[in-house]
Each structure stands twice: as structure tokens, then as C-alpha cells.
């Protein structure tokens, strides 16, 4: 009976933590890193049918918290999101090993690099970058959304910073560490980014 009560308390704790994380994506000023982005990433996870229950749960938590902290004026959002997720997981009694893995997956979204042998890491990075391989109209909407999030940055600084980011992504080989994402999206992503780079006068 005690074990059942403990399990119920843990389940409630996790649900409440998940709701807090989801609410963060509705904060004012989010025009791309919002609930639509979160839902899109989680929907992609639902299409992956060869994951164990544990791996699916860890990825779902990592996706849920990966942009929970998002302040465009700061450069440590991924680290702070990872720390928040770890803190929430531990507080709810999630095993330390699992909480650490969730935090590790979130931190990968800062460099957007993962070894192909790191299945969960490769999927995490590839899912987060999937927007780059969207159709051109959706890609342009993503760029416009991010620009609105960085409205405080003058045009010249935005263009320079965005160009640097695009060049870094274009230099990645491969861009998508997961083979499935690479096959489906890499060519489109490179085309989208090259077109945007040209529009910034860098093509």
C-alpha cells in the first residue's frame, strides 16, 4: 500500500513538473520557441517506433525541457534548461541516472553535435534541427519567428550573427547526426540555409 501511495505521489509530482515546463513555452516574446515548436518535436518522437519505453520517456522529457528556459539576451539557455530539468526530475524521485541523461540530451542542443553512435543524442539534435529541412514557406516562417524573438538586435548585428550561424550549420558534415533525418531532410535544409544566406548578402 505504501509503495502504491509513493508511486502515485511521484506520478503527480512529474505531471505537475511537466505542466510547469509546458507553461514556459507560452511565455510572452516567444515566436518560434513556443508550444508549436514543442508539440512538433514531440509529434516527431511519436513517429519513432523502434525505441524502448525508457528511451522514449527520456527523450520526451528532454524535448519537453529543452527550451523551457529561453531568454534571447542570454547565452546559457540550454544549460539553465538542463539544470531545471535535472532539478525537477530529482525532486520527483526520478533515478539520478535518468535525470542526468535528460540533462545531457538537453545540453547537446547547444552545440547541435552528437556522435552517430549516440542514438538518443543523435535523435535529440536531429529533432531540434528538423525545422531547417522544412518546406521553404515553413522555413521562412521559422526565420521570421526567431527574428521577432531577437527584435532587440539591430539589423546589421542580426545579419552578421545569423550569417555566422548558417555558415556553421552548412559546414557541419553531416548536419543531422541521425541517419534517418539525414536522408529525409539534409538536402532540403542545406538548400534553405543557402538561400537565406544569399538573402543576407553572404551567398
Instruction: Give the tens place of pLDDT for each residue, 2-18.
Output: 557 778 999 999 999 99
* Residue 168 near residue 121, CB atoms below 8 Å: no
DSSP state of 130: G
Class assignment of domain 1-128?
mainly alpha
What are the residue ranges of CATH 1.10.3210 in the chain? 1-128
Which grid coordinates are listed for 129? Answer: 534541427
Which grid coordinates are listed for 165? Answer: 550561424
pLDDT tens per residue across span 97-130:
999 999 999 999 999 999 989 999 999 999 999 9
**What's the mean pLDDT in 53-70?**
98
In sequence order, which residues have a C-beta less than 8 Å from that of residue 20 and are 6 or more positions away? Answer: 88
* pLDDT for 3: 58
Amino acid at each position: 500500500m505504501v509503495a502504491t501511495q509513493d508511486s502515485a505521489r511521484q506520478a503527480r509530482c512529474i505531471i505537475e513538473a511537466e505542466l510547469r515546463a509546458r507553461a514556459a513555452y507560452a511565455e510572452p516574446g516567444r515566436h518560434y520557441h513556443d508550444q508549436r515548436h514543442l508539440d512538433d518535436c514531440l509529434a516527431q518522437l511519436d513517429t519513432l517506433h523502434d525505441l524502448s519505453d525508457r528511451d522514449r520517456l527520456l527523450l520526451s522529457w528532454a524535448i519537453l525541457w529543452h527550451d523551457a528556459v529561453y531568454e534571447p539576451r542570454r547565452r546559457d539557455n540550454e544549460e539553465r534548461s538542463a539544470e531545471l530539468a535535472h532539478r525537477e526530475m530529482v525532486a520527483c524521485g526520478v533515478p539520478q541516472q535518468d535525470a542526468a541523461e535528460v540533462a545531457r540530451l538537453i545540453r547537446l542542443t547547444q552545440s547541435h553535435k552528437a556522435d552517430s553512435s549516440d542514438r538518443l543524442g543523435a535523435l535529440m539534435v536531429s529533432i531540434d534541427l528538423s525545422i531547417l529541412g522544412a518546406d521553404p514557406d515553413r522555413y521562412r516562417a521559422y526565420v521570421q519567428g526567431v527574428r521577432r524573438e531577437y527584435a532587440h538586435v539591430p539589423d546589421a548585428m542580426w545579419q552578421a550573427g545569423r550569417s555566422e550561424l548558417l555558415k556553421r550549420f552548412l559546414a557541419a558534415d553531416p548536419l543531422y547526426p541521425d541517419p534517418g533525418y539525414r536522408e529525409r531532410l539534409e538536402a532540403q535544409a542545406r538548400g534553405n540555409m543557402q538561400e537565406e544566406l544569399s538573402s543576407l548578402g553572404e551567398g
